[in-house]
């Protein structure tokens, strides 16, 4: 019994020594980690989100197809546009905009601040060709006003007719890099092509599908 008792105590002692050998480095490591832990101020290091400054104005761009400069009453034309007149009375009126007499080029110029040929819109998307300035492919070198506003804390959205995406990219498979939601607009509710109908039921399904795909390209749908 004596020798057995000695053997048991010896085994327990060896086990305790082994445990101490294991725990010793762990305790030292924990102590070193505590000494090198960053200060509490460094833990709250999320980058600040961009926010528009207090009092920043809303920015609304309205483009009407097939309407000449002299049509609306806001510029002395015969067509009464009371809401536009009201907006103009609280803002500024510009009378030196370069209109291209076609919707896609005019919209491209309005949104980019560039000559339409510089960003591939010398004509509408259906007339695109390989000639320089006529590809209908919006280059990454030309940022839109929507993207500028978005990066500075604005919420952005586009509604209605778009007609600035290459025709071969207007499909459920994409690519989506030239859709409105890839050009600065966080939300888009409209149609991508040149024309559509508000009286045909399939239009509603197509509209919803296009916009869901558009949002999905930004992983938000």
Residues annotated as catalytic are: 103, 163
CA dihedral of residues 62, 58, 149, 115 (deg, nearest 10): 30
Q: Are 133 and 123 in contact (CB under 8 A)?
A: no
Q: Can you tell me the distance from the alpha carbon of 53 to that of 48, in angstroms, rounded to the nearest whole number?
A: 14
Q: Can you tell me the distance from the alpha carbon of 140 to that of 84, in angstroms, rounded to the nearest whole number?
A: 33
98: three-class secondary structure by DSSP: coil
Buried b (16+ CB within 10 A) or exposed e, 20-57: eeeeeeeeeeeeeeeeeeeeeeeeeeeeeeeeeeeeee
69: three-class secondary structure by DSSP: coil
Q: Can you tell me the distance from the alpha carbon of 20 to that of 9, in angstroms, rounded to the nearest whole number?
A: 16
Q: Can you tell me the distance from the alpha carbon of 142 to that of 114, in angstroms, rounded to the nearest whole number?
A: 8
Number of Cβ within 10 Å of residue 177's Cβ equals 14
- Rg of the chain over Cα atoms, rounded to whole angstroms, equals 32
Q: Can you tell me the distance from the alpha carbon of 103 to that of 100, in angstroms, rounded to the nearest whole number?
A: 8
């Amino acid at each position: 019994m004596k020798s057995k008792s000695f053997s048991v105590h010896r085994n327990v002692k060896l086990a305790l020594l082994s445990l101490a050998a294991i725990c010793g480095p762990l305790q030292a490591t924990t102590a070193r980690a505590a000494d090198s832990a960053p200060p509490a101020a460094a833990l709250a290091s999320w980058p600040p989100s961009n926010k528009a400054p207090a009092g920043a104005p809303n920015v609304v761009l309205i483009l009407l197809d097939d309407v000449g400069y002299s049509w609306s009453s806001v510029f002395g034309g015969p067509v009464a546009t009371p809401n536009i007149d009201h907006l103009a009375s609280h803002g500024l009126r510009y009378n030196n905009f370069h209109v291209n007499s076609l919707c896609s080029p005019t919209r491209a110029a309005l949104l980019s601040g560039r000559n339409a040929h510089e960003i591939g819109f010398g004509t509408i998307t259906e007339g695109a060709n390989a000639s320089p300035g006529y590809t209908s492919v919006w280059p990454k070198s030309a940022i839109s006003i929507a993207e500028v506003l978005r990066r500075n804390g604005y919420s952005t959205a586009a509604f209605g007719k778009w007609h600035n995406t290459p025709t071969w990219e207007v499909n459920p498979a994409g690519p989506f890099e030239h859709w409105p939601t890839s050009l600065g607009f966080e939300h888009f509710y409209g149609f991508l092509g040149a024309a559509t109908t508000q009286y045909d039921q399939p239009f509603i399904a197509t509209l919803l599908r296009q916009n869901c795909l558009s949002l999905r390209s930004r992983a938000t749908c």
